[in-house]
Amino acid sequence: MQQHKNSKGRELTEGDRVSVILLYKGGETYHKIGEEIGTSRTTVGRIASGLATPLA
């Protein structure tokens, strides 16, 4: 679960995950994707490499 700036948790949606994958394949950096989606570079990296926990 990602943290909002006001410290409230936020789950990434399936749409967020798809956006990360498409942006990464389009050549965007983890940092740029993280800023756009609103999540950390680590989470972006996990999603892009397929290591993120699958959605139920």
What are the domain boundaries of the chain?
A: 13-49
Query: Does position 32 have pLDDT exceeding 60, yes or no?
Result: yes
The mean pLDDT of the chain is 80
Q: What is the mean pLDDT of residues 41-54?
A: 81
Strands 2-3 and 9-10: antiparallel
The model's pLDDT over 16-25, given as tens digits with 9 standing for 90+, comes to 899 999 999 9
Residue with tokens 């609103």: 38
Mean pLDDT lowest among 5-14, 27-36, 42-51: 5-14
Phi and psi at residue 12, to the nearest 5°:
-80, 135
d(CA 39, CA 9): 11
